[in-house]
Amino acid sequence: MSFARSLRCRQCKREYPLEPLFVCEFCFGSLEVVYDYKAISQNLTRESIAAGPKNIWRYRALLPVEDEPINMDAGFTPLFHAHNLGRALGLERIYIKNDCMNPTWSFKDRVVAVAASKAREFGFQAVACASTGNLANSVSAHAARAGMRAFIFVPHDLEQGKILGSAIYGPTLVAVRGNYDQVNRLCSELAERFPWAFVNINIRPYYAEGSKTLAYEVAEQLGWQAPDAVVVPVASGSLLTKVWKGMHELSQLGIIGKVGSRLFAGQAQGCSPVATAFETGKPVRPVKPDTIAKSLAIGNPADGFFVLNILQECGGRAVAVSDDEIVDGMKLLAETEGVFAETAGGVTVASLKRLAAQGTIKPDELTVAIITASGLKTIEAVQEKVAPPITVDPTVASFEQEVGERAFWTPPLKDTGRTDRG
């Protein structure tokens, strides 16, 4: 059963019933799910969580889903001590939370699992979203699993590879002829006209709750403690606010101790409304995105204001990194830890590198870097940046001539790292 009690406006605090609503009728502020924490505390323990399934539904008491959920085994992804990356950055206790290991290879499976489950519970027969990649893949896959219809809206000039990653699941794919702002407006209007669950519009309060499971897992995998620092890539800002909410919920319930974590927001320079607002001390101003980190290219972030509040409260900060730094970050993570992350992961690693070099994150701080999606989704970002293969004839002589000394190279001794999955 769910302990969700109501929806509450994050601005004026008015409460609403648990329905498919997303803005406050009074002030048009965004809505958030609130829970009966007293009842949860009587039903939830470390042991009861540990006895649950190895996916996000082990934290079901803290999610707003009443009926049997749509379960594709999202979540419970590996958290591992990244010794090699730590050595490269001068950090002794850096952990990678690898959300590439989700069913459609991104953290979006966490939010979509909750949104699609709630949509089915509300009686919707179709789910929808507007997306340039990860979200579209996840909505399409979850709809397929649940036997629901899916309507996916993409910009008309989106790369074929990204379209394929959704098309394979059989949704109705709609390519919109228009610029980014026009696609945004169209989808907001369609959400009001059609009886579909637009996961990040009319189901958004429920959808966003799925991100909390990242915080729960990190705390559990660290032996029930909050880390000292967390580096989170920021697009709409929803993920960072929910990681914060998730950690504080566990603390409030007595499942972990006091949360002293500092959160750090990573953005690409080509789309950094939150980092700019943090630096200038002014409110978030919308920007036109221009970066290779397409999954973070949200120029008008819905949760930007809330991210700034959290950064101030916890003593964190926001960082903006260049496209070159993003590619270097992707390569560094792949070459040191064998994790091929997409551009958002490059933003996380590049931000981490900057924060470590500045001394903002200290070497002995228990730090977690969130890697949100697989690099196979954004191969075009690095295809010109990696060494091409050495071509040889099928003879030993040709091999020895072309490969030369490299054939006799022995790797330096490296730590293997420890995987804490399951």
Partner 1 sequence: MAKKRVMFTFPPDLVTEPVIYHLAQQFRVVTNIRRADVAEDRGWVVLEVEGKEEDIDKGLEWVATKGVRVDPVGGDVVEG
For partner 1, which residue of 23, 163, 173, 366 counts as binding (CB under 8 A)? Answer: 23
Site for partner 1 in 31-60 (CB under 8 A): none
Q: How far is the CB of 191 from partner 1 (least distance, A)?
A: 8
For partner 1, which residue of 69, 75, 133, 270 counts as binding (CB under 8 A)? Answer: 133
Q: Which stretch binds partner 1 (CB under 8 A): 217-225, 255-263, 299-307, 379-387?
A: 299-307
Which residues on neighbouring strands pair with residue 193, listed in sequence order? Answer: none
Residue 164 sits in the site that holds partner 1 (CB under 8 A) = no
Q: How far is the CB of 362 from partner 1 (least distance, A)?
A: 31
Residue 183 sits in the site that holds partner 1 (CB under 8 A) = yes
* Residue number with CB closer to partner 1 (29 or 52): 29
Spatial distance between the Cα atoms of 89 and 102, rounded to a whole number of angstroms: 27
Q: Which stretch binds partner 1 (CB under 8 A): 261-269, 294-302, 350-358, 402-410?
A: 294-302
Determine how many CB atoms are found less than 10 A away from the CB of residue 42.
11
Q: How far is the CB of 180 from partner 1 (least distance, A)?
A: 6
Site for partner 1 in 300-359 (CB under 8 A): 300-304, 344
Spatial distance between the Cα atoms of 151 and 170, rounded to a whole number of angstroms: 10
* Residue number with CB closer to partner 1 (213 or 221): 213
Spatial distance between the Cα atoms of 299 and 287, rounded to a whole number of angstroms: 5
* Residue number with CB closer to partner 1 (43 or 182): 182
For partner 1, which residue of 63, 129, 318, 370 counts as binding (CB under 8 A)? Answer: 129
* Residue number with CB closer to partner 1 (57 or 105): 105
* Residue number with CB closer to partner 1 (33 or 297): 297
Tokens representing 35?
Answer: 């829970």
* Total number of residues that touch partner 1 (CB under 8 A): 49
- The alpha carbon of residue 372 and the mean position of all alpha carbons in its chain are separated, in whole angstroms, by 4
3-state secondary structure of 155: strand
The secondary structure element, H or E, covering residue 213 is helix 212-221
Burial 3-14 (b: 16+ CB within 10 A, else e): bbbbbbbbeeee
How far is the CA of 287 from the CAs of 178, 264, 269, in angstroms?
18, 21, 11
Spatial distance between the Cα atoms of 217 and 49, rounded to a whole number of angstroms: 10
Residues 6 or more apart in contact with residue 362 via CB below 8 angstroms: none
For partner 1, which residue of 2, 77, 131, 374 counts as binding (CB under 8 A)? Answer: 131
* Cα radius of gyration (the chain): 22
The secondary structure element, H or E, covering residue 6 is strand 4-9
How far is the CA of 189 from the CAs of 194, 205, 207, in angstroms?
9, 18, 19
Which amino acid would we find at residue 270? G
Nearest to 305 by CA among 234, 231, 237: 237
Residue 180 sits in the site that holds partner 1 (CB under 8 A) = yes
Nearest to 65 by CA among 15, 10, 115: 115
Tokens representing 283?
Answer: 């409110």
Tokens representing 256?
Answer: 């972990």
3-state secondary structure of 163: helix
Site for partner 1 in 229-288 (CB under 8 A): 235-236, 282-283, 285-286
* Residue number with CB closer to partner 1 (53 or 195): 195
For partner 1, which residue of 198, 216, 264, 306 counts as binding (CB under 8 A)? Answer: 198
For partner 1, which residue of 6, 71, 125, 132 counts as binding (CB under 8 A)? Answer: 132
Compute, in degrees rounded to 10, the torsion defined by CA atoms 271, 273, 277, 279: -10
Q: Which stretch binds partner 1 (CB under 8 A): 167-175, 198-206, 258-266, 351-359?
A: 198-206
For partner 1, which residue of 63, 116, 135, 352 counts as binding (CB under 8 A)? Answer: 135
Spatial distance between the Cα atoms of 238 and 393, rounded to a whole number of angstroms: 53
Site for partner 1 in 378-417 (CB under 8 A): none
Q: Which stretch binds partner 1 (CB under 8 A): 45-53, 92-100, 186-194, 346-354?
A: 186-194
Q: Which stretch binds partner 1 (CB under 8 A): 19-27, 50-58, 330-338, 405-413?
A: 19-27
Q: How far is the CB of 120 from partner 1 (least distance, A)?
A: 21
Q: How far is the CB of 348 from partner 1 (least distance, A)?
A: 14
Sites of contact with partner 1 (CB under 8 A): 11, 22-23, 26-30, 108, 129-135, 153, 155, 180-181, 183-185, 187-189, 191, 198, 200-201, 204, 235-236, 282-283, 285-286, 294-304, 344
